[in-house]
Amino acid sequence: MPGDAPEDTAGLRVVIADDQALVRTGFRMILAADGIEVVAEAADGEQAVEAVRRCRPDVVLMDIRMPGLDGLEATRRILAGAPGEPRVVILTTFDLDQYVYAALAAGASGFLLKDVTPEYLVAAVRMVRAGDALLAPAITRRLVERFAVRDAGATTLHRDLAALTPRELEVLQLLATGLNNAELAGRFQLSEATVKTHVARILNKLRLRDRAQAVVVAYETGLVTPGSEPVR
């Protein structure tokens, strides 16, 4: 969870994209108070894409619903494969939002509700910058269960799971139900370092950015189905 995120914010660069000036100002003040630099603000998706190209931030806080080019399409354009791509965190007022699910499928590293506490916001930005997916397992699970598409022709993240070993398939299946590395280690009676290696290999073989995409893939390929083993 974000409370375990590293404390270092040195050089951390953020772009805030939201059509509400009050939201942008509030988030900027919160981040600046912890030494996180907001290098640009954007009021719509077009501005967000341009700001990322111009400023090369580490993290983008992206409102999902904006006029003109929305946050979903802006996320797709930002994460289209350019080297050094930033991590995108979706901002939303409604956790079970189909657009949030689509953004995760497009490559977003997680999402935050707009009424997030200042402490959680700062910790979440640090966590994502460190390379972790920002997942609230119970919410993410419900989100994916509601909106995951199992038509391989329609899904954004369809992958051939045949590349994974039997153990990697087991790890992916439990990872998708919300287990963290410590819990996975306990389940398989392995060290956390070994679990981390398994997770890294899964992401590499399936060409995924982080755990957020891994959860989506597990559901979209049918490896995990609604009603599977509960989180925790």
Tell me the average pLDDT across 35-43. Answer: 96
> Are the C-beta atoms of residues 148 and 157 closer than 8 Å to each other?
no
Question: Per the structure block, which two tokens stand in for 118?
Answer: 């200042």
Please tell me the least confidently modeled range out of 42-56, 172-186, 212-226.
212-226
Q: What is the mean pLDDT of residues 131-150?
A: 67
pLDDT, tens only, 158-167: 567 889 999 9
Please, what's the b/e burial string for 57-79 (b: 16 or more CB within 10 A of its CB; e: otherwise)? Answer: bbbbbbbbebeeebbbbbbbbbb
Residue 45 pLDDT greater than 70, yes or no? yes
Q: Could you tell me the domains of the chain?
A: 2-143 (3.40.50.2300), 153-220 (1.10.10.10)
Q: How far apart are CA 221 and CA 154, in angstroms?
A: 12
Instruction: Indicate whether 76 pLDDT > 60.
Output: yes
Under the banding of pLDDT at 50, 70 and 90, the label for residue 119 is: very high
**Which pLDDT score, from 0 to 100, does residue 6 have?**
43
Identify which has the larger pLDDT, 228 or 66: 66
Q: Is 17 helix (H, G, I), strand (E, B) or coil?
A: strand
Task: Check pLDDT > 60 for residue 157.
Answer: no
